């Protein structure tokens, strides 16, 4: 005998049978003998009448006890399972839920169709009216296993509800293969919630998937406990979960286009950029010659790159050259039209913001505005490596002012500030610069001949300090034999481009003089150093911005750096890096699946609403932006659908649209299926049915029709409850009639 409400709840319900007993005991009359002389002349009450009343009270109490006990069993909905003692056993109806894997991997081909097409066919087979598998009392529910499970049937559909069943199948067949990851455990949890709304005792879940291990949460006991029960009470044994595995063509090759990279990190108008893509073959066979195409803002540009042949497991790197001619947000797409096992990974999308100019303020150590700012000439030339007369078209637009004129500069007009060989700063200006950095800007401090020990190492208010360091000497270090330069952090954005081709592209650089100091901030990062151990370039974060310090000058007096071929890229990469707190919010690049889209814009004009267009063409309209720290900010969380996202703003005066590219979840390209050990873990944990964990096409119908036989006892118990109510009513009526016969004792008379 099985109780759906559970044995403990049944026992709690049976405690109600004590109520009639308590009432019976409370109503018993306790008599006290009273001596009265006249009683000897009265007739004694018949003893039989007294005994009969006691028996009637006992029978009434037993009927009421039986009534409450039967009611407790009725509410528990007992199921009398199939056995030789159960002649009433029949096939039980079932609530069936199909979990359809709608992840990216289900887009793989099996012959001339996809695995998702096969999954749709499983639903069609169960609902085929010509050969019905579902019986009259059965119901069907469908849940799509996506990044977040999607329930197609909030309420189970009856097997003979033709109109709703047709709508369900049409809705399923209108879907294309998914593009995201999925969680089978979460989808089963959603299926269980739907099944609990069904009318039948038997609950069956059929998971139709390619059994890709990455999506099954093997080993995550908590996830499966949530799916089929709860961590305290354990797995719900009334739900049977079965797996229906679909197999893709293992002999088909699969070409994948990897994430795109765009160099340089900051792209300017009319400046050449390089777009790099990797193409890999994860299949067992080589792929013949194929073309790789590039499109910009939806238009194919240039001639496609050719890959002669790509062997199994091989990867090819392709580079496209392009020049953007207009500023603003743009997007690029690299794709191949080869036909392979999975079409969804044959392209990659990335977004890029093209800048018209990057305004930079250079505060020169020169005390007055008179003169040519000799200390900054090499620096300015490196920032604008263009022909004379074309400096206005350069990406970096420096404005040089003397240290005495810098107090009146409006810092917010610039993306970064350079302090080039300044002897001293006023406390007010240094405090403004610290606040400027914390708000998300960059500051580049260049120490040179004019710099003073007081400026470098004086004790300052931490709130207004750009950097702190201990001077090893009160004068610059001067070496007759210049030491070599050691790259401490080749991955730092300031030097990554310079050191990409060779480990130390500054091997020929000569540094004769520098300020020898020891950085004191715990988060300082040394980028370049002399072989004597002194840092030459280091940086630190400051609030939302960054501060970079060069310990040697850029005027050619202390070193030969300006004469080095890599001086121009070193200067520009430093500028781009220190401008990145400002450019990062616009430079969307290629985000990983599940990342949050983050946009930031100036205070004016005010942003009222943001509309987000997703890669599938759907629009999420009317989202709100937040005004924080003098800027408008907007975040769109969990962009798990790969492809191109577009942001449009109200009012339209805000520059738009803004594009963001999201890549596919690379875990979906790992085709490793569940192993036998994985299946054992799922079965032994009770997460898959222990009798029939795996089903095939020929046995799908059997899990619906043949598993459990028995009879639900609620109908019979309901009849017994009704009979008990009738008996209780009859006994109560009888007892009331007996109470009307009152013996009146006195004067030897009895009135009936």
pLDDT in tens, 582-630: 887 776 677 888 889 989 888 899 999 999 999 999 999 999 999 987 7
- Cβ contacts of residue 37 below 8 Å, gap of 6+? none
Residues 579, 537: Cα–Cα separation, whole Å? 17
Does 279 have pLDDT greater than 50? yes
Superfamily of domain 590-662: Immunoglobulins (2.60.40.10)
Topology of 358-575 in CATH?
Rossmann fold (3.40.50)
Residues 488, 536: Cα–Cα separation, whole Å? 10
CA angle 447, 451, 455 (to 5 degrees): 100
pLDDT in tens, 468-509: 888 999 999 998 888 988 899 988 999 988 887 655 567 778
pLDDT in tens, 624-666: 999 987 789 999 988 999 999 999 999 999 999 999 999 999 8
Does 746 have pLDDT greater than 60? no
Look at residue 32 in the predicted model and tell me its pLDDT: 57
| Average pLDDT of the chain to the nearest whole number | 84
Look at residue 730 in the predicted model and tell me its pLDDT: 76
Mean pLDDT in residue range 71-80: 61
CATH of domain 255-355: 2.60.40.10
pLDDT band at 30 (very low <50, low <70, confident <90, very high): low
Sorted by where each begins, the domain ranges of the chain are 2-27+42-86+713-739, 93-248+674-707, 255-355, 358-575, 590-662
The two structure tokens encoding residue 435 = 């606040």
Does 233 have pLDDT greater than 70? no
More confident residue, 734 or 496: 496
If you search the block for the tokens 């300044």, which residue do you land on? 422
Closest CA to 282 of 316, 317, 311: 311
Look at residue 43 in the predicted model and tell me its pLDDT: 44
Look at residue 83 in the predicted model and tell me its pLDDT: 44
Asked whether this chain's domains 255-355 and 358-575 adopt the same fold, the reply is no
Q: Out of 3.40.50.410, 3.40.47.10, 1.10.357.10, 3.65.10.10, which CATH number does the structure's domain 93-248+674-707 have?
A: 3.40.50.410
Strands 239-245 and 90-91, bridge-based pairing = unpaired
pLDDT band at 37 (very low <50, low <70, confident <90, very high): low
- Cβ contacts of residue 450 below 8 Å, gap of 6+? 365, 375, 421, 422, 423
pLDDT in tens, 336-395: 999 899 999 999 999 999 999 999 999 999 988 888 899 999 999 999 987 777 778 889
Mean pLDDT in residue range 730-742: 64
More confident residue, 206 or 135: 206
pLDDT in tens, 240-258: 999 999 998 888 889 999 9
pLDDT band at 397 (very low <50, low <70, confident <90, very high): very high
Closest CA to 355 of 385, 393, 382, 320: 393
Does 189 have pLDDT greater than 50? yes
Mapping DSSP onto H, E and C, the string for 507-548 reads CCCCECEECCEEECCCCCEEEEEECCCCEEEEEEEECCEEEE
Look at residue 497 in the predicted model and tell me its pLDDT: 81
């Amino acid at each position: 005998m099985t109780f759906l409400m559970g044995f403990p709840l049944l026992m709690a319900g049976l405690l109600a049978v004590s109520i009639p007993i308590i009432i019976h005991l409370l109503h018993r009359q306790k008599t006290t003998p009273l001596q009265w002389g006249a009683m000897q002349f009265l007739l004694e009450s018949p003893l039989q009448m007294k005994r009969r009343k006691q028996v009637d009270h006992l029978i009434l109490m037993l009927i009421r006890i039986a009534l409450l006990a039967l009611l407790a069993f009725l509410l528990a909905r007992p199921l009398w399972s199939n056995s030789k003692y159960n002649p009433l056993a029949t096939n039980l109806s079932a609530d069936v839920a199909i979990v359809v894997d709608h992840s990216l991997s289900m887009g793989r081909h099996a012959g001339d169709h996809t695995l998702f097409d096969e999954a749709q066919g499983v639903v069609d087979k169960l609902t085929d009216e010509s050969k019905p598998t579902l019986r009259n009392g059965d119901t069907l529910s469908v849940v799509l296993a996506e990044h977040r499970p999607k329930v197609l049937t909030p309420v189970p559909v009856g097997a003979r509800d033709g109109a709703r069943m047709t709508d369900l199948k049409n809705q399923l067949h209108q879907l294309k293969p998914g593009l995201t990851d999925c969680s089978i455990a979460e989808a089963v949890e959603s299926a269980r919630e739907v099944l609990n709304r069904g009318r039948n005792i038997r609950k069956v879940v059929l998971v139709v998937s390619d059994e890709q291990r990455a999506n099954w949460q093997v080993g995550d006991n908590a996830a499966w406990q949530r799916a089929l029960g709860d961590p305290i009470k354990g797995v719900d044994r009334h739900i049977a979960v079965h797996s229906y595995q679909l197999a893709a063509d293992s002999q088909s090759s699969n070409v994948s286009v990897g994430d795109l990279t765009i160099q340089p990190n900051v792209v300017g108008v009319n400046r050449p950029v390089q777009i790099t893509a990797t193409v890999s073959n994860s299949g067992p066979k080589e792929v013949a010659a194929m073309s790789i195409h590039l499109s910009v803002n939806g238009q194919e540009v240039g001639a496609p790159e050719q890959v002669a042949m790509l062997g199994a497991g091989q990867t090819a790197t392709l580079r496209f050259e392009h020049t953007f001619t207009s500023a603003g947000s743009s997007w690029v797409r690299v794709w191949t039209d080869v036909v392979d096992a999975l079409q969804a990974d044959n392209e990659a999308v990335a977004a890029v913001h093209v800048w018209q100019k990057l305004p930079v303020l250079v505060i020169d150590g020169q005390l007055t505005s008179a003169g040519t700012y000799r200390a900054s000439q090499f620096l300015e030339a490196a920032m604008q490596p263009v022909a004379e007369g074309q400096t206005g078209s350069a990406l970096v637009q420096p404005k040089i002012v003397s240290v005495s004129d810098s107090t009146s500069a409006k810092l917010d007009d610039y993306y970064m500030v350079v302090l080039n060989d300044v002897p001293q700063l006023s406390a007010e200006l240094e405090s403004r610069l610290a606040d400027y950095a914390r708000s998300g800007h960059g500051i580049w401090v260049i120490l040179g001949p004019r710099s003073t020990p007081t400026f470098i190492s004086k004790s300052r208010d931490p709130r207004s300090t750009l950097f702190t360091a201990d001077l090893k000497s009160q004068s610059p270090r001067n070496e007759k034999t210049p030491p070599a330069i050691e790259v401490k952090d080749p991955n730092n954005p300031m030097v990554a481009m310079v050191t990409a081709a060779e480990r130390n592209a500054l091997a020929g650089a000569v540094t004769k003089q520098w300020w020898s100091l020891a950085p004191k901030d715990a988060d300082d990062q040394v980028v370049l150093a002399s072989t004597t151990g002194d840092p030459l370039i280091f940086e630190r974060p400051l609030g939302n911005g960054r501060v970079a310090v060069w310990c040697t000058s850029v005027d050619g007096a202390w070193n030969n750096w300006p004469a080095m071929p890599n001086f121009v890229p070193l200067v520009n990469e430093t500028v781009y890096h220190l401008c990145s707190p400002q450019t990062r919010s616009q430079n969307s690049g290629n985000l990983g699946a599940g990342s949050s889209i983050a946009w930031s814009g100036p205070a004016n004009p005010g942003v009222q609403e943001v509309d987000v267009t997703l890669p599938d063409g759907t629009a999420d309209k009317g989202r709100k932006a937040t005004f924080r720290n003098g800027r408008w900010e907007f975040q769109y969380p969990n962009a798990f659908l790969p492809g191109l996202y577009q942001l449009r703003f109200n009012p339209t005066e805000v520059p738009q649209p803004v594009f963001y590219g999201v890549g596919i979840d690379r875990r979906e390209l790992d085709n490793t299926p569940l192993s036998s050990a994985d299946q054992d873990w799922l079965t032994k944990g009770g997460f898959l049915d222990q009798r029939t964990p795996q089903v095939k096409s020929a046995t799908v119908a059997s899990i619906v029709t043949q598993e459990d036989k028995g009879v639900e006892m609620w109908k019979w118990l309901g009849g017994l409850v009704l009979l008990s109510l009738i008996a209780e009513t009859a006994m109560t009526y009888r007892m009331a009639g007996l109470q009307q016969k009152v013996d009146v004792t006195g004067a030897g008379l009895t009135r009936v």
